[in-house]
Structure 1
Amino acid sequence: MGNREDLLRGAKQCLVERGWSNTTVRDIAASAGVSHAAIGYHFGSRERLLVEALVEELDELDARMAPDGQSAAAADRWRTLIESFTSDKALWLSQLEAIVAAQRNDELRTRLAEGQRRARGEMGGSIPLAILIGLMVQSLIDPDNAPSAGQAIAEMRELTNESTKSRS
């Protein structure tokens, strides 16, 4: 593995262990076993490296959700995503920190927007994505009282059934 790959690996580790805002250039360089200068040489800045690391980490999470490119049933995909709020909590926290940081970083905002557009397509629209983000926030803030995957799926089915009934 070269310095660039080592830096990405180190940045991913730091995102999980320290989060977006607490990860420093020193942390990344130490984790990667390279000099600080390597970050500037390969990525230009800490922010660009963290953007790349976060996007790769989220892509890897997405790949784990549907292994081998298989499309899971909608309920199974929702269940896996909701359960990942616990199993991959540190990554979701880093993503939330990145969303806040994106308000002052055009490149980060652009990359997160690309991911959001892709997620809307995969989730079936903006409302399912909004529900998912709301469930994530509930899980991160109040994990003991956040709905389980089964509860959330049951509530969404109930809403869907009520919506269907009101149209007829």
Structure 2
Amino acid sequence: MGHKEDLLEGAKKCLVEKGFVRTTARDIVGASGTNLASIGYHYGSKDALLTQAFVALTEEWGANAFQGVLPGADGSLERLGAMWNGVLAQHEESAPVWAASMEVVLSGERLAQLRGMLAASQGEGRRGLISLLTGTPEEELTERDERTLGSVMQALLNGLMVQWLLDPASASSAEEFTEGLRRLAEALTASLRGGSAGEAAP
């Protein structure tokens, strides 16, 4: 590998071990066996490199969590449950990545540039989640799809991972999380039909 690839691998290692806030440029240099000048030359800044490393780690996590074709019909509860199963099966490996992202979310203006870079990558993640659930190719999805269904899917994923980061013992299982979403959908459907939430299936 060249310096660019070495830097990315070193930054990924640092993110997993130290997170965004505690990782320094010298940490990355030490982990990659490169030099400080290489960071600016190949990535522009340490924050830009860490952002690329974070994106790469999430892509690797997604590839491991959603290997092959997920079972169930497009848009079905079975497919949704399979998604959450894949997510939670990789919990231990992905926990440092999610913890690092929480650092950025809670950093306020201290990591403004990094927050902006990660925010800009959200659309790709939302489109990927929609495609996994519905089977629709990402290139066919609209901005409206991304900002509605994609946003909700992303919020569900983030919320589930926060539960597992905070306390795995009390966090929902994939089956429980899917059942909760089914019950919510049934309650909302009942209200639209003029019924009450209490009429939804238990």
Does TM, scored on the shorter chain, surpass 0.5?
yes
Shift of 1:143: 2.0
Cα-to-partner distance string for 1:57-84 (whole Å, 9 max, x where unaligned): 112222223335x455222112212443
Asked if the contact 1:79/1:153 (under 8 Å) is kept, the reply is no
Residues 107-118 of structure 1 mapped to structure 2, 5 A cutoff: 107-118=113-124
CA RMSD of superposed structures (Å): 2.3
Equivalent position of 2:166 in the other structure? 141
Is the deviation greater in 99-108 or in 74-83? 99-108
Equivalent position of 1:94 in the other structure? 100
Using the alignment, how far apart are the partners of 2:49 and 2:106 within structure 1? Answer: 17
Using the alignment, how far apart are the partners of 1:103 and 1:81 within structure 2? Answer: 30
Stretches of structure 1 lacking an aligned partner (at least 5 in a row): none
Using the alignment, how far apart are the partners of 2:29 and 2:35 within structure 1? Answer: 6
TM score, norm. by length of structure 1? 0.85
Asked if the contact 1:12/1:53 (under 8 Å) is kept, the reply is yes
Aligned residues with identical type, % of pairs: 37
Is the deviation greater in 80-89 or in 40-49? 80-89
Q: In structure 2, give the amino acid aligned to 1:166.
A: S
Shift of 1:103: 4.4
Residues 18-57 of structure 1 mapped to structure 2, 5 A cutoff: 18-57=18-57
Stretches of structure 2 lacking an aligned partner (at least 5 in a row): 72-78, 131-148, 194-202
Shift of 1:13: 0.6
Q: Would you say how many aligned residue pairs link Structure 1 and Structure 2? A: 167
Shift of 1:164: 1.9
Asked if the contact 2:70/2:82 (under 8 Å) is kept, the reply is no
Is 2:188 the counterpart of 1:163?
A: yes
Structure 1 residues 66 and 143, CA, compared in 2 at 3 Å: closer, same or farther? Answer: closer
